[in-house]
Structure 1
């Protein structure tokens, strides 16, 4: 699903376990309780996506655009991988385990 567009899609509780969603556009999607465990999300866009209770455990968020995502909490990104190129909302901090 590399480069796929899910603009404004209703994907509550969707299972993206280990999926390759590199550069996917998930803008405006409802991803409440979606499972991104181990997913490859490098460069993905989450503009205005609802990420309430989404699981990002071991997901690769390197270079992902999360700055306009809704309902994203610190605990969710603490379980993910990323780096300085991952763009987070102003109220969240990069986890200490992310590479500089």
Structure 2
């Protein structure tokens, strides 16, 4: 509780019921905007493992999606670095960043 987890991946489907309103968009390095919607599914799966109410290890953490991979799960090194840079500049602490 009180921790923000930044999921650097394909984005996060913030409307998923498993997040109970605790998920938010952060940054999208693919579209260069702040809507990190997951069109692939991997980032949402990771976010659920981190902070989902059913199986998450930190069930009360706030989740912030940072999209650096496209809907096919691919991205450039520059996009990944941009996502990491965004988290570094904008993280609300205490925080953790996940990139898996």
TM-score tier by shorter-chain length is under 0.3
Larger RCO, structures 1/2 (Cα 8 Å, 6+ apart): 2
Q: TM-score, normalised by structure 2?
A: 0.24
Which protein is richer in strand relative to its size? 2
